[in-house]
């Protein structure tokens, strides 16, 4: 792995909002041009011609060093790839792209936030299954694509088993506006990113229902407690959950309508049907809620806030009943 500060080819897989934002950040960080692979040939051709990101990031221009491509061939020359497609699509995408990615030790940095619904696997385990030769890593933290794409100040975490690799990737991708901390706690970073989306839906529901800021603060605190329990049960470190990829992303996503998960919950709280509340936007928390509950049950962890979200999304419970049930749980010691 040759990636180092200012050097090495970083390629991006996925030309949606977050893929474009990270491609811009990687280009700003210097070094070689950044191939940006997208599956939609027409959309990629339009990006290459106009140098505009398109409808997912209106008004955002591609940095000069970003090279959009629908042909996966440039991926074969990458020193590291950023995997920036929805969590539920990663297995299919890797099956298709494996011929260009099957190199020993190739760092594959997962930038999606979710748990695979069909298998219950965390994203790093999906990558290990699909690309057994690769070195998985995870990038996550409080970061709206629109902010990062424009170069607004942002800080995130990057985790890999090998701390030296995590540090090299963090140096390569960091720039004046993007500060990347590194860690070896992949489980903690990936669980924080996946779980906060479910909590953001819960917070959106509460705000959409008009239940007030006190209720939201209670949910954030109790939701953080259950996410930490869940993550620790799967080997994550508590201090990772206290950091950017856990608490940091909860603060961002649970408090802003700019979050698609929060906005989805808010629409539900106002009475929109589950099938319509996202407005066609990606809501990773909706795909992750039920499978996270399954993994929590496997580990004997109680996650009442997330269970309420899953029950609402599955149509097993109405919003008011779910909130009533949360409030009527037996009183217990805090922790």
Ligand X SMILES: NC(=O)c1ccc[n+]([C@@H]2O[C@H](COP(=O)([O-])OP(=O)(O)OC[C@H]3O[C@@H](n4cnc5c(N)ncnc54)[C@H](O)[C@@H]3O)[C@@H](O)[C@H]2O)c1
Ligand Y SMILES: O=P(O)(O)OC[C@H](O)CO
The span from the CA of 44 to the CA of 90, in Å, is 19
Q: Based on the shown chain and the rule CB under 6 A, indicate whether residue 209 belongs to the binding site for ligand Y.
A: no
Helix axes 304-313, 284-298, angle to 10 degrees: 130
Binding mask 102-131 for ligand X (x = CB under 6 A): ---------xxxx-----------------
Query: Is 104 among the catalytic positions?
Result: no
Residue ranges in 275-304 that form contacts with ligand X under rule CB under 6 A: 282, 284
Candidate residues 24, 228, 261, 288; the one interacting with ligand Y per rule CB under 6 A: 261
The span from the CA of 189 to the CA of 183, in Å, is 9
Residue ranges in 45-64 that form contacts with ligand X under rule CB under 6 A: 56
Burial state string for 264-294 with b = 16 or more CB within 10 A and e = fewer than 16: bbbbbbeeeeeeebbeeebbbbbbbbbbbbe
Reported for 251-254, long-range contacts at CB under 8 A and 24+ positions apart, including other chains, are: 251/142, 251/220, 252/142, 252/143, 252/144, 253/142, 253/196, 253/197, 253/199, 253/200, 254/196, 254/199, 254/200, 254/203, 254/216, 254/219, 254/220, 254/223
- Please state the closest distance from residue 253 (CB atom) to ligand Y, in A: 5
User: Are the CB atoms for 308 and 246 separated by under 8 Å?
Assistant: no
Those residues whose C-beta lies under 8 Å from the C-beta of residue 125, and which sit 6 or more positions away, are none
Candidate residues 78, 82, 84, 109; the one interacting with ligand X per rule CB under 6 A: 84
Query: Total residues at the site for ligand X (CB under 6 A)?
Result: 26
Q: Which two tokens stand for residue 174?
A: 């960091």
Binding mask 274-303 for ligand Y (x = CB under 6 A): ----------x-------------------
Binding mask 4-43 for ligand X (x = CB under 6 A): ----------xxxxxx------------------xxx---
**Residue 145 class from Cβ within 10 Å (0-12 exposed, 13-18 middle, 19+ buried)?**
buried
- Please state the closest distance from residue 57 (CB atom) to ligand X, in A: 8
Candidate residues 253, 278, 288, 306; the one interacting with ligand Y per rule CB under 6 A: 253
Binding mask 155-194 for ligand Y (x = CB under 6 A): ----------------------------------------
Given the rule CB under 6 A, which of 39-47, 91-99, 246-254, 310-318 is the region that contacts ligand Y? 246-254
- Please state the closest distance from residue 2 (CB atom) to ligand Y, in A: 29
- The most distant pair of C-alpha atoms in the chain lies apart, rounded to whole Å, by 60
Q: Which of 28, 56, 168, 196 is catalytic?
A: 196
Specify the residue, 40 or 314, whose C-beta has the smaller distance to ligand X.
40
**Pairing assessment for the beta strands 34-37 and 10-13 based on DSSP bridges:** parallel
Residue among 172, 170, 149, 173 nearest 159 (CA): 170
**Three-state DSSP state, 10:** strand
- Please state the closest distance from residue 258 (CB atom) to ligand Y, in A: 7
Catalytic residues: 196
Residues that bind ligand X (CB under 6 A): 14-19, 38-40, 56, 84-87, 89, 92-93, 111-114, 143-145, 282, 284
Residues that bind ligand Y (CB under 6 A): 113, 142-144, 197, 200, 249, 252-253, 259-261, 284
């Amino acid at each position: 792995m040759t990636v180092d500060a200012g050097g090495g080819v970083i390629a991006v897989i996925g030309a949606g909002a977050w893929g474009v934002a990270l491609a811009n950040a990687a280009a700003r960080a210097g070094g070689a041009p950044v191939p940006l692979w997208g599956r939609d040939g027409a959309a990629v051709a339009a990006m290459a011609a106009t140098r505009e990101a398109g409808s997912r990031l209106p008004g955002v221009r591609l940095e000069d060093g970003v090279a959009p491509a629908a042909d996966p061939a440039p991926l074969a020359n990458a020193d590291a790839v950023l995997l920036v497609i929805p969590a539920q699509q990663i297995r299919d995408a890797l099956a298709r792209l494996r011929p260009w990615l099957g190199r020993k030790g190739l760092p594959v940095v997962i930038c999606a936030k979710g748990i695979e619904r069909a298998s219950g696997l965390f994203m790093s385990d999906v990558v290990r299954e699909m690309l057994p030769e690769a070195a998985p890593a995870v990038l996550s933290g409080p970061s709206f694509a629109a902010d990062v794409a424009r170069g607004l100040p942002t800080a995130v975490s990057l985790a890999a088993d090998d701390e030296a690799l995590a540090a090299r990737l963090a140096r390569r991708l960091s720039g004046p506006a993007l500060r990347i901390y590194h860690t070896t706690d992949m489980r903690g970073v990936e669980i924080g990113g996946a779980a906060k989306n479910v909590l953001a839906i819960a917070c959106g529901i509460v705000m959409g229902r008009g239940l007030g800021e006190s209720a939201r603060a209670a949910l954030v605190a109790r939701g953080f407690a259950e996410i930490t329990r869940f993550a620790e049960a799967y080997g994550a470190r508590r201090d990772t959950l206290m950091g950017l990829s856990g608490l940091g992303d909860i603060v961002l996503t649970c408090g802003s309508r700019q979050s698609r998960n929060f906005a989805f919950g808010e629409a539900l709280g106002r009475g929109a049907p589950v099938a319509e509340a996202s407005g066609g936007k990606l809501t990773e928390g909706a795909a992750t809620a039920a499978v996270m509950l399954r993994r929590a049950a496997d580990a004997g962890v109680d996650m009442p806030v997330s269970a309420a979200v899953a029950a609402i999304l599955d149509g097993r419970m109405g919003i008011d009943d779910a909130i009533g049930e949360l409030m009527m749980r037996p009183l217990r010691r805090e922790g």
